[in-house]
């Protein structure tokens, strides 16, 4: 991971969930961002949550098959938030998920759930 990406992951790791959702909302394409045009931050967060909820099954399927995510889980997953987000980001960028908007933001949000929780019950 390059230094710029490391800095951005560090910045995102320091944000709370609401701030991350607003970052995602700003990155969503107009056709996937119902409610994003609203100036109301709550509507923007709701639209970002809806986008994540809709794409979650596909994100989960591909991330849990990612070698980086599997390695993170098998190593015990005891690393910091940035390392977890980096594993998720690697999974995003190395799969069909590379088209998703704001991959660093999505990686940070998904990694906060916990990769064991994300991939629990799936063959990894």
Residue spans of the domains in the chain: they are 3-25+41-119
pLDDT tens, residue by residue, 34-54: 555 667 889 889 889 998 998
Give the residue-averaged pLDDT of 90-115.
81
Tell me the C-alpha distance between 43 and 110, whole Å. Answer: 20
pLDDT at 36: 52
Is residue 89 within 8 A of residue 105, CB to CB? The reply is no
The answer on pLDDT for 124 being more than 50 is: no
The answer on pLDDT for 96 being more than 80 is: no
pLDDT at 6: 85
Task: Name the phi and psi angles at 109, rounded to 5.
Answer: -65, -45
Q: Cα 84 to chain center, whole Å?
A: 10
pLDDT at 101: 81
């Amino acid at each position: 991971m390059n230094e710029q990406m490391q800095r951005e992951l560090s910045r995102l790791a320091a944000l709370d969930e609401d701030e991350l959702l607003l970052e995602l909302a700003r990155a969503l394409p107009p056709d996937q961002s119902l409610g994003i045009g609203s100036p109301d931050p709550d509507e923007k967060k709701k639209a970002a949550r809806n986008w994540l909820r809709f794409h979650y099954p596909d994100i989960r399927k591909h991330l849990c098959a990612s070698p980086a995510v599997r390695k993170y889980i098998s190593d015990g997953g005891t690393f910091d938030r940035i390392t977890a987000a980096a594993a998720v980001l690697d999974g995003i960028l190395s799969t069909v998920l590379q088209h998703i908007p704001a991959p660093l933001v999505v990686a940070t949000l998904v990694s906060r759930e916990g990769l064991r929780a994300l991939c629990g019950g799936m063959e990894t």
